[in-house]
Amino acid sequence: MLGDNFVWGGLHNVSPLVLVVFVGLIAVAVTKKLFDFFTSTSDPFGGLKPWEPKWFAGMRFWLGARDMIHDGYEKYKGKYFQLPRNDRNILVIPREYVDELRNYPTERLSSIQALINNMVGQYSYMDVLLESNLHTRVLQSKLTPNLANFTSAMADELNYALAKALPNVTDQWSEVEIYEVLRTIVARVSARIFVGLPTCRNDEWIFSSIRYTEAATITTMLLRGLPAIFRPFVVRALPSYWNTKKWVKRGADIILPIIDQRRVSAEKPGYERPSDLLQWMIDEAKGKESDTYNLALRELVMNLASVHTTTMSTAHVLFDMCQMPEYFNIMRDEMRIVLAEDNGWQRLTPTKLRKLDSMLKESQRVSPPSLLGFHRLVQNQPITLSDGKVLPPGTHVCTASYEISRDEDILPNQEYDGLRYYKLRDDPANDKRLAFAQTDKAHMHFGHGRHACPGRFFASNEMKMILTELLLRYDFKFVDGQGRPTNINADEFLYADPSTKLLVKKRVEE
């Protein structure tokens, strides 16, 4: 009979690769269907084609997120809609409900769990942040309130970093890989505050922290392009995953003895504790947080969070200026005036660069680190909103933050204006609210509410200082015949093109 022999005979002649792909696709579809059954809502999907199964749309989201998010926002503006990701469907909420959700306790609605899911934390080591909020406590209680006290140290390290990063620049144009230059500068200035002297000038530490950031980011990007069911198997074939582990070990080998030495020294009379992130975590740690390896790992993860996003954001601003070079003189004029009035970098000097602050915010509005914001994961109990909407446990909610900040009804005159917020802040009601590091329902690229990015005020000062010194010392322009590089999308993440080269030369003042 036709029966079994026909089936097995046919399978015998099929390529093993085809069988693997076929079985894999079935596994993806079934697994996603089961997972979505328990965690999805009944809301419509953005970017879903009429013929398209949701599991396939989830795979397409990896490279097509921008169009899919835009489609959902345009079709369902002011309403709930879902987006199909490889790992789960996520629910995009209207911005009107942000204030209702923003202050929910972590036990009910977790921002850190959503972040770890987004960053595939078990493979990037970011899941250490799930163990406690030690990093948030020290950033909010030690760094941010005392930020002005670190301006002098940051300026000192910036001088050192620029000399190391651009040693051969003359008064003639030359090409530089600007992303690598910026990343090294950011890593060094951040390290001055994160680990202090002399470790911040240990080239092996700087190199290890940069390479860990690079490897972990690549691993995240690649794994986010795969359904979650495949990740445990595929990850071990990724060179970036093994590089992540290698650089974590290298970095930990440097930091572990420093932690031990500081603890020994602290027992001696007259010991002056260093004022840096590492020491704050040592002092603040309780219980399991005090584990030496745990502290070293947190130090590396803080570098990942700081170096990657700050480098990207600084690159975007520089690209914007090269595209619209009239802003170079506008910003340089303000920089000269402020530094002259303050006689160099003083405690509050970064806060006086209001035009630059405006350009940072405008650049972030147009080229944010993510197209989605205000990520939260509903924990073990459902949440009922004021309109009766029920969010089941396991629901990942977020806002279409990019679309919101590009919405003409919310923010009129969408054409790029580097002085937009400088002008808006002339109104006393807007002065504090529209500063770069502040958040509201129209600007959620740092998040919003009690769980907004705890390091954003430090990042703001750091970017202002780096850009000021770069612009006052050097001229920049695109390589002849090239314009602003197109931003790179991977899932909802937005990246400045790291391969971009700029022409640079020392400034000659007229």
Binding site, annotated residues for heme: 453
Rounded distance between C-alpha atoms, residue 398 and residue 100, angstroms: 13
Q: Count of residues for the chain?
A: 510
Report the number of secondary-structure helices (H) and strands (E) in the chain: 19, 12
Q: Which DSSP category does 484 fall into?
A: P
Question: Would you tell me the crossing angle of helices 239-265 and 277-284 to the nearest 10 degrees?
Answer: 70
Q: Which DSSP category does 447 fall into?
A: B
493 C-beta neighbours (distance < 10 Å), count: 20
Q: Which DSSP category does 505 fall into?
A: E
Q: Which DSSP category does 454 fall into?
A: T
Taking alpha carbons only, the member of 470, 165, 160 closest to residue 318 is 470
- Cα dihedral sign, 224-230-234-235: positive
Q: 232 by DSSP, 3-state: which?
A: helix
411: left (phi over 0), alpha (psi -120 to 50) or beta: beta
Burial class (CB in 10 A: 0-12, 13-18, 19+), 343: exposed
Rounded distance between C-alpha atoms, residue 204 and residue 207, angstroms: 5
Residues 6+ apart with CB under 8 A from 292: 256, 259, 260
Specify whether the CB–CB gap between 397 and 378 falls below 8 A: yes
183 C-beta neighbours (distance < 10 Å), count: 23
Strands, DSSP E only, in 317-357?
A: none
Q: What are 398's strand-pairing partners?
A: 92
- Give me the phi and psi of 480, to 5 degrees please: -50, 130
Q: What are 82's strand-pairing partners?
A: 45, 91
CA dihedral 355, 361, 362, 365 (to 10 degrees): 180
Taking alpha carbons only, the member of 51, 37, 39, 35 closest to residue 91 is 39
Positions at the binding site: 453
Location of structure tokens 């506008």: 330
Q: Which DSSP category does 143 fall into?
A: I
Burial class (CB in 10 A: 0-12, 13-18, 19+), 467: buried
